[in-house]
Amino acid sequence: MRSRRVTTAAFATAFLASGWIVAGPAEGAEMHGSVAQVIQVLPAFDNPEGAIFSADGTHVFVSNAAELGDKTEGLAWGEGIGYISKLKVLESGKLEMVEPKLIDGLTAPLGMGVLPVATGTFPKGTIFACVGSAPFRTATGEAVTDPARMRTKLLAFDESGKVLGEIDTGSGSIFEEINGSPVLLINALGFDGDGNLYFADTAFGGDQFEPKFEGKPGLWKIPAASLDALAAGEKPAEMPTFLMVPGFPDGVEVSPKDGMVYVNTVGPVAGAPDPANGGIYAVSDMTAALPAPVDRDLGALDGLDFTAGGTMLNSQIKGDVPVAITVTCPGGKSTALAFDPETTLSGPADVAIRRSSGAQLMVIPELTARDSTPGDDEVTVVLLPADFDGACMK
């Protein structure tokens, strides 16, 4: 089925009209049985979009997407001005800045994931980041129209910030060869236990180029055995595979319980066609037809992650839907997450959870799009109490 392209202008207009401000759950909303404790709000970032814990849980990495704010009329990432921050996790659960710009000079760093197994090129624990997404402009706001500058990629680095390699997903890449279009908005990624990498192309922004790219929203899989060849610029023995996902997929993660790949959709925030109206899909076979959504009508979903017990949390960014974080128990329906103290989140994006048998730490980057002052956007840190997964059984 041919997808309908959503233009950058239409996306930005609807995106900004949404306000990107979501508060706590509406009065009368069904609540999850356990309350998240807010322990820190850290205003030290520039449009933080993604967060990820290191493999050992001692550090957090935050991607600063660096939206241009009042330098453009519509939403646009700044070319070459994004960066990744490194923070230490203190005994209290709070975060302490280690390096504000561990890696800089990036365009639109968004979601991240940690490689769970070693390959010939990449050690176990290597962090992969989605980088280079449209829509973007130069750092001073000028339009970029040259399609050769459509350079989305997966950037691999270690915890010291050393770049270990990258996989090109942009113009002229093997992904364009497979799909007829480069990856336009490489938004989030997750690994399964074997090291297979899954990422979402939300597919906005292709109309900024001349000629325009026809984006194809969907889910990609890169086999673990193909990571090294792709990073070397070679054609792998086993090619990446693509599954069309309607509604413009955004968040991606693999469940620690059932091993399925979960992907959510953000279409409603941009007026984009989304048959699930903010839905969640569970994928077990990339070569089969996309199954029906496991839940729907949840607003505009952005990031998602799982607790140790398999409880799924999705961030929601549509301003007129007053639920910031949706909680979905395994096999159950979705409820709203309550915070203590009550808090307001501004564009909650790719959340990260440090999974443990006791209380679990969750980091919520707040994208706060159109904020024209860099360095003061927030990351909120919350504790999910030890009974959080158990509350799903009540």
Using the CB atoms, write b or e for 185-203: b if 16+ within 10 Å: bbbbbbbbeebbbbbbbbb
Pairing of the two strands 36-45 and 339-340: parallel
Q: What's the rounded Cα separation, in Å, for the pair 302 and 187?
A: 9
Distances (CA, A) of 70 to 48, 62, 79, 172, 180: 17, 23, 15, 32, 34
Q: What is the pLDDT along the chain (394 residues), one digit of tens a residue?
A: 223 334 444 444 344 444 444 444 444 568 898 999 999 999 999 999 999 999 999 999 999 999 998 888 888 999 999 999 999 999 999 999 999 999 999 999 999 999 999 999 999 999 999 999 999 999 999 999 999 999 999 999 999 999 999 999 999 999 999 999 999 999 999 999 999 999 999 999 999 999 999 999 999 999 999 999 999 999 999 999 999 999 999 999 999 999 999 999 998 887 778 999 999 999 999 999 999 999 999 999 999 999 999 999 999 998 888 889 999 999 887 899 999 999 999 999 999 999 999 999 999 999 988 777 889 999 999 999 999 998 886 6
Q: What's the rounded Cα separation, in Å, for the pair 247 and 302?
A: 12
Q: What's the rounded Cα separation, in Å, for the pair 361 and 359?
A: 7
Q: What's the rounded Cα separation, in Å, for the pair 115 and 323?
A: 31
Cβ-proximal residues to 254 (8 Å cutoff; 6+ apart), any chain: 190, 191, 192, 193, 198, 260, 261, 262
Look up the CATH architecture of domain 8-393: 6 Propeller (2.120)
Instruction: Please give the pLDDT value at position 331.
Output: 83
Residue with tokens 């990449």: 122
Q: What's the rounded Cα separation, in Å, for the pair 222 and 261?
A: 13
Task: Say if residues 180 and 203 touch (Cβ distance below 8 Å).
Answer: no
Instruction: Please give the pLDDT value at position 371.
Output: 78
Q: What does the domain layout of the chain look like in residue ranges?
A: 8-393
**pTM for the full predicted model:** 0.94
Instruction: Please give the pLDDT value at position 106.
Output: 98
Task: Say if residues 217 and 197 touch (Cβ distance below 8 Å).
Answer: no
Task: Say if residues 93 and 78 touch (Cβ distance below 8 Å).
Answer: no
Instruction: Please give the pLDDT value at position 29.
Output: 67
Write the single-letter amino acid at 60: V
Radius of gyration of the chain (CA): 19
Alpha carbon 185 to chain centroid distance? 10
Task: Say if residues 280 and 264 touch (Cβ distance below 8 Å).
Answer: yes
